[in-house]
Structures are given as C-alpha cells and as structure tokens.
Structure 1
Amino acid sequence: MKSDRLDVFPERFGIESSDPDLIQKHLDQTYSARFAISRPASGACSLAHTRIDAGSYAIEDIRHAGEVLLRADRVPSVVALFVVSGHAEVEHGRLTGVAGPGQWVLTSSGVGGVRVRARNAQLRSVVVARSLLTEVAAIDTAATAVPRFTGLVPVNAGAARTLGTTERFLYRLLTDQEDTDNRILLASAGRLLASALLTTFPNDLPPEDVPEDAGTLPVLLRQAIEFIQDNAAHDIGVSDVASALYLSPRTVQYMFRRHLDTTPTAFLRDIRLARAREELIASDRSVTTVAATAARWGFAHTGRFAVIYRRAFGESPHETLRR
C-alpha cells in the first residue's frame, strides 16, 4: 500500500516479466514485504500484475504462468484472492485454504507468515490496510482493538458473492475517470470493502445480535474515553485522540456521535468542567482563584468558562469556591 490514508487519488502500476529478481523486487515494494520465490527447476514462470492503489485499499489483476511458491514472514495488509482460473493454495500461520475457479481465499490477515502456491492462475485480489479494518470495526461493533481473522475461506456462499459484487463495484469506480476525483466516494468505497471482508471471512468480531449497553461500547471508544480522561489537563484535541488510537479524526468523531450522542470536543469539555468543579470545591478561596482554575483546565476565557459552568451546574464557579 502506498499509504493508509483514505483521501488520496488512485494510482495504477504493475509489471509483466519472467525475471525472478525483477518480480521479487516488484512484489516486495508493492506489498511492503520481503518475498522468497520458488519454482520447479524445470519450469518457467512469468507474472503479469496490475494494481490500482487508492491509499488504504487496492484492487489487483494477477496472472501466473507456470507454478510458483511465494513466501513472506509478514505481509502488513489484508489480502484476499479470487481465482478466475487455475488453482491457489494458502498457508497463513496455522490456517490453510484452497481455492479453485470462482472461489475466494484470504491470503494475508496482515500479521504472521504467508505461503501462497499458484498454478497457471488468473487471479483478482483486494488489498486493505489493517488500520481501515480497525476503523470499520470500531464504528459498528464492540470489537477488540484489531479484528483477528480465524479462517481463510468464506463463511458461506452468500458472503463470497457479496465480496465479489463489492470487488466489481470497486473496479468500475477506480477505473472511471470522473469517479476517481470524488474523495468522499473513494473513502466510502474503502470502508465498504473492509466491511465486506469482515463479513466474508471468519473472525473474532462479536455477533451482530449482541445488544449494546454501557458495558459493550466499542473497545476503541473506551480507549478514547480513557485517553481523554487521562490527558484532560493537557492541551489535546481530536487529532491527538485519533493519533493515540491509530484512527482518523473522522472515525473518532463518528464513534462518539453514534454511541454517546456527543462529540469528542464536547466530551473533553465536560470532563474538564467536572475536574474544575472538583478543584473549586476542594480549594481554599484565599489561595485559589476561578481564573487560575479555569486556565489549568483549558478554559482561557474566564467569562466564557463562567457561562458554561453555570449552564452545567446551576451555579457560578465563584459560588462553588465560596462554599
């Protein structure tokens, strides 16, 4: 992947070669990995590979002539292959998967070693950054920090068809000159692809029918809340919360709005107001001032602080301090 960002324009590149060294260099650069390539001593092998890269996701067209075995200690992106013709076998950690014509197989979950054997295969593939999967899971589920795939073959035929439909839609989108200028559409398409992958292949996301309550807020949202609570006295904003969790600011904002019906900024303000009130109640008015307390909790304008304080607690900060 050339980037984890969702706001870049698609880029097309590829290779067509039978030179093993050139093929390996291309694969290493394309997948940000170090591949070892093996082939039968008596057999020739060639690769035609085209990728359209949209930053945090990509689609590919791959043609292998002959038999080849690809090995890598780690491929940092999630990769799924659709076999148009030929045969593909995958070993990924302790998981194995085999795909023939018309079938999908998960090639990489973004962690762990990968072994792929292809024989005279024409393939299409989709590639997604793990960070994008994490964002999608954070928005709609009570997921662990990073979803973990537990199988390499689709959970059922319907899910596989959905992934195929999504891949074909992305191909039309990324090859249409007018649509490739639409950043919002491109970003939404990436999230759609990540959702399709999470729906298609077995993983450890919680079941969709689990009711949501305060105890089942998404893990990443709870981590965002903890970060805000721990750093409320510092000069932080939405971008700092997002960076700490390896999410985009938009995803952090969406999580707070969807699950808490507020914004990260409003949540931080409420935490700071509560901390300021605790300090005023516990302080000696002979040594503490409202202005100093307000400043310590990020309220530079004392008058504005007094207005929102009264709105929140029904009394002025001076009245609280005089208790």
Structure 2
Amino acid sequence: MTTTERTAVQTITLTVTGADAIEQFLSSTYSALHLRTDIDRPQLRHHRTDAGVFALDTVDLSADVDFHIGPLNAIVITRTMTSPMQRMCGDADHRYAPGDLFMIAYPDQPYTARWLPGEITDIVLDPGLLAQVAATAPGRRPAPLRFTSLNPTTPAVAAHWWNTRRYLADTLLDPEVATPLVLGNAARLLAAATLTTFANTALTDPTIEDRRDAHPDCLRRAITFIDDNANRDISAADIAAAAHVTIRTIQVAFRRHLDTTPTAYLRQVRLHHAHRDLQAADPTTTTVFAIASRWGFANHSRFTAAYHDAYGTTPSRTLRT
C-alpha cells in the first residue's frame, strides 16, 4: 500500500489572548495541558505550515508560563529562538538558552515546562514516519522505535538538522514546488535527519533472512512497482511491501544486483519521466522548474546537475529544443 497522498500545504496564523484561551488552543493543537501564569491576559501568536505528516510551527509568547502537558504521541523538535525554557520529562531536566535545539519530550510521556517570554520554533512529526524510515527488520527489534535522549548527540548533527529544517521551510513557501512527491521526499529527509540527530534504538543491519530473500524475483517485483508508481509518493517501505519482503531485504537486493538503492533507482526513473516531459513540453507554457517539481525535484541546481550527468545536456536546452 502506498503512503497517504498529501493535500496542499496549509498555512495558518492565529493570535490568542488570555490564559484560558491559550490553554484551550494549545490543548487542541498538541496535547491536553494545564498552564499557570501570573500575567493578566497573556498573548500567544501561533504560525503553522502544515504539510501533512509534518508541520512547522513558530510560537511567540508574551508571558512567563508554566505548562503541565500530557503525552504528545508525536515527535516534536524545538529550537528556542529568543525564549529561554526549562523542561522536565522523565529523568531529563534541562535548561535551554536561545539557539538550543532539543526534542521537547518522549512521545509517550508527559512533561512540564517553564517558558519565558519569547519565540520558539517546532517541527511536529508523525512517529510512524520515523519508524518507517528507521526500517528495522521485524525479527531484529520487536519493540517500537524509542529515543534514548532528548538532546542532539553532537553540535554538528544539531546544526545539520537545523539546516534541513531551513531547507524544508524554504521549499514549502512555493506552492509550485511543494508537490506531493516533493513533500514526501521532504518528510523522509526530515525523519532521517531526526534519527541521525537524536540517539535511538533503531537497528539497521540486514539479517541473514534479509540476505537470503534478496533474490532476482524480489528485485523484479520491486522494479515493476516503481515503474508503475513513480508518479506517486512512494517510499522504501511501499516498495518492500510490493515485493513481499522487508525493507532491509529490498535494500540488499538493489545493492547486490544493481549496485544502487531503491530510492536512488526511483530517483532515476523519475528523472527519466522528467526528461520525457521536457522533450514533449511547450516552452511557452511550462518551465523546467514546474516539470522538475512535478517529479519530486525541489532543488533546481541539483536537478540540473543530475540531468546533465544522465543526458549530457541541460534541462533548459532540452525544453527549448
């Protein structure tokens, strides 16, 4: 079964005034919570860009507020922009200064936070997406994916995560670029960056069974599925399911027989479709940018480089001729 088709990106900005109204709004947006503040009529400004399986939030609060929040059942990565924050979740009790990046809480645990006036940014991720990208064979880890720290493993990976977030935010600004294929790729890119940034229990080595099942018939089923569904937002998990094997098996099969990965092969198939569309398109009514986005290529320079490597010319020249 393919991943859920995503609707257009939605952007909502709201200003909420008063402690009761803020409590009700945040409870409906994130999880049931209680807040306490000594300030009369605090104000909260909330801006959300919703891309389906992930959302980018910017939140500005005008007062000191203490929060008691129930389990989020989501992965929420926070960066304090101008607001210091103290957060306690389980045994994790930390103070964060402006510029710090952290996971706000373990998805299945309640937490408390003291938020001083200022702005924070959040990304809210579906845990199912991270489990899919982690792609551990069922025989290796029967327990669900679990994070073991709420802080980045190193400053370098934290910086990489933030650069990924900035790239995604820029991508979502342009409706022409934010096609279903681009959004699907963006979601998995963000999930992979999160798994790299925060320590977790994912095990990714292939099992003996994975290697045994990575035979040519499995590969043929996967290739047929990719060729028939390249225009849809499909993932490695969808490809593996179509081939009736685990994700690790399908990765071993592509590496063993084609010296590539399922996602790299899918990218080449989409590049081929983009090439054919460029050949057939009218340059007066369409653009390279539109065709590239249609096939999941959000970065124009990377698309141009990949296209030149494959076809020995530029996409703009193909469109013109």
TM norm. shorter chain > 0.5 = yes
Aligned to 1:204: 201
Larger Rg: 1
Deviations 1:183-241 (A, max 9, x none): 111001001111111111122224x7xx53316x59xxx9xxxxxxxxxxxxxxxxxxx
Instruction: Flag as ranges the 4+ runs of structure 1 deviating above 4 A.
Output: 139-145
Contact 2:9 2:175 (C-alpha < 8 Å) held by counterparts: no
Contact 2:137 2:207 (C-alpha < 8 Å) held by counterparts: no
Superposed counterparts of 1:42-121, under 5 Å: 42=39, 45-121=42-118
How has the CA–CA distance of structure 1 residues 107 and 6 changed in structure 2, closer, same or farther, with 3 Å as cutoff? farther
Give the TM-score taking structure 1 as reference length.
0.62
Please give the alpha-carbon distance, in whole angstroms, between the structure 2 residues aligned to 1:94 and 1:251.
Answer: 38
Tell me by how many angstroms 1:158 deviates.
0.5
Deviations 1:42-84 (A, max 9, x none): 5653211111111111111111112112222211111011111
Aligned to 1:22: 21
How has the CA–CA distance of structure 1 residues 144 and 10 changed in structure 2, closer, same or farther, with 3 Å as cutoff? farther
Q: Secondary structure, in 3 states, of the residue corresponding to 2:105?
A: strand
Indicate the RMSD between aligned Cα atoms, in angstroms. Answer: 2.9
Superposed counterparts of 1:234-273, under 5 Å: 249-250=238-239, 252-253=241-242, 255=247, 256-259=249-252
Q: Secondary structure, in 3 states, of the residue corresponding to 1:198?
A: helix
How has the CA–CA distance of structure 1 residues 257 and 212 changed in structure 2, closer, same or farther, with 3 Å as cutoff? closer
Gapped runs of 5+ residues in structure 1?
Answer: 223-246, 262-323
How has the CA–CA distance of structure 1 residues 57 and 6 changed in structure 2, closer, same or farther, with 3 Å as cutoff? farther
Aligned to 1:173: 171
Tell me by how many angstroms 1:146 deviates.
2.5
Please give the alpha-carbon distance, in whole angstroms, between the structure 2 residues aligned to 1:251 and 1:114.
Answer: 37
Give the TM-score taking structure 2 as reference length.
0.63
Gapped runs of 5+ residues in structure 2?
Answer: 214-235, 255-321
Please give the alpha-carbon distance, in whole angstroms, between the structure 2 residues aligned to 1:259 and 1:170.
Answer: 30
How has the CA–CA distance of structure 1 residues 175 and 140 changed in structure 2, closer, same or farther, with 3 Å as cutoff? farther
Contact 1:97 1:105 (C-alpha < 8 Å) held by counterparts: no
Please give the alpha-carbon distance, in whole angstroms, between the structure 2 residues aligned to 1:140 and 1:83.
Answer: 36
Superposed counterparts of 1:218-229, under 5 Å: none
Percent identity (aligned) = 22
Count of equivalent residues: 225
Contact 2:135 2:237 (C-alpha < 8 Å) held by counterparts: no
Please give the alpha-carbon distance, in whole angstroms, between the structure 1 residues aligned to 2:64 and 2:5.
Answer: 35
Contact 2:49 2:57 (C-alpha < 8 Å) held by counterparts: yes
Aligned to 1:150: 148
Contact 1:97 1:106 (C-alpha < 8 Å) held by counterparts: no
Tell me by how many angstroms 1:143 deviates.
5.3
Q: Secondary structure, in 3 states, of the residue corresponding to 1:135?
A: helix
